[in-house]
Structure 1
Amino acid sequence: MYLQMWMLFLWALSFTDMVVSILAEDTTTLVDSHEPPTRQNDKFSTAEYPYVRGNGNNLNYDDERSIPYNHRCSERLETALDQIRRRQIAKQKTLHLNGYSLHQQLRSAPYDMYVTDMRVRLPTSSSWVRVDRCRFNPRNASLETRLLFNDLTISGKVNLFNGDMLQRAPVEPNPEDSCSMILRLRRAGIGFHTEPIRRERGQFNVKTDSHFLEPGFISVYAYGCEPRLREHRRGFRDDEDSEELSREMEDIFLKGIRSLLTTYMQKELQPAIKETLMRNMGYTISYG
């Protein structure tokens, strides 16, 4: 009798161990199913700027993607730049800043300085400007683009008017009473920051801010301005005042050209920049 009870106890104990082992195995499986996978997601290998569907690749990003792309980020901008070059070279190989002029009242002399007929000489090669950066940030849906110019030569006609001349008649620069200024820039650039400001049904508006990037080389040359300046220097006390006038005129010309060139390029490239941003955001562009 005692032996039978002991065997029954051992049999019951072995059944309990089997139940416990089954429960432990199920619990472990549930916990493992909630652990994150150890393999990195190929689509989002770059944490800061992940690749998104419906756009081209971003500059400095790997092209080996699991999702195929049809448009590079800078493709539309490069096409627009090439159209500007072809349109101007068909004329006189110069880029005319038509409709733009500079006007600034001088501090060192009682005159107003006007700059008109501004032109940008384009080189014969197609590499006069290139897209140096084109990057889409999916976090705030913004687009950063940057242009770099290899070598720019900008010229303009300069006229000085005193207050009496401006009051007597409208400003109409006389070619015989003007001089030329030439500005050379190497490795200058323009940066653009674009972001959407309104996304309604059938309407997509963007805001673009632009800024001029300091060039690696600057040279300002005045051609034929010395005789005109001597006429306006008669009331000056010494040569130091005359040099100050020359420096101020060169500074006005430099800053004005930088501002006008930035405004002109932004206006010309705005449609391409907007289309690039929309493609990166997944929109489909259709014409017709």
Structure 2
Amino acid sequence: MTVPPSPLSPDPRRTEGVHPDHTELDRLDASALVQAFVEDQLGAVEAVRAAGGAIAEAVDAALPRLARGGRLVYVGAGTSGRLGVLDATELTPTFSWPPERAVGLIAGGDRAIRQAVEGAEDNADAGAADIRGAEVGSDDVLIAIAASGTTPYVLGAVKAARERGALTVGVANNPGTPLLAAADCAVLLDTGPEVISGSTRLKAGTAQKIALNTLSSALMVQLGKVYGNLMVDVQSSNVKLEERAVRLTCHATGASEAQARQALAEAGGHVKTALVMLRLGVGAGEAQARLQAAGGHSRAALGEG
């Protein structure tokens, strides 16, 4: 188990440092406070930009496992854990990714999504137990998130996942930390000290959110969940999404609204199927068969390569 540095000794983790530019933060009025917080968030974007190569490497490493039917498994504690659960949850309505293939694990269990569970992140054995409980295997991809890079719960999860043959991606906001050393793919988001010292729900969390969005979205694109830049695997689960499906179908095919609605009705609301139907002039069954033969990739089903 990794022991955090003593409170009396200098903490080498940059996220724990005191921001030199904001030592008078409590004296600022509302306008100046807002400006300070917003401007510091720009550091999150720069940190992710710098990590672009590492994120791309993680995408390349993860893609074959997911193509074989593996799962995305997110693990974290506190803010990091909640961001992982959020990314996992959003994959289903956005890309029709099966919910059982997007697993969010957080220290302290589901209760910790809404309520802080003190001390849960310090238990490495619990992290390992959650990995075993989720039956993580060799085709799965573990995305382990910890701003500090030293969270025992997350480190325990990574160790257990590697022992079970899973690919591990470590996302941390401090260089040279155990999480980055332990993971197969290391993604450093070096955001440095926070405006409110140590509050990694600020730009460290923002950088994690951007990185997770980027990683999972890139994977979904390469898995055929997007045609051009259109979200053709969206689940039409409410009125807003039903209307979005119509607009996407019209845009992709040049069909009228009436034609798009008819095709979507025959396709069970599935934009990708309606797209192939209208572009090739085939029925829903034929469109579905073409998509299945093409591994779900619209361009291949349309013969566009």
Q: Greater helix percent: which structure? A: 2
TM-score (norm 2): 0.23
TM-score (norm 1): 0.24
Q: Greater strand percent: which structure? A: 1
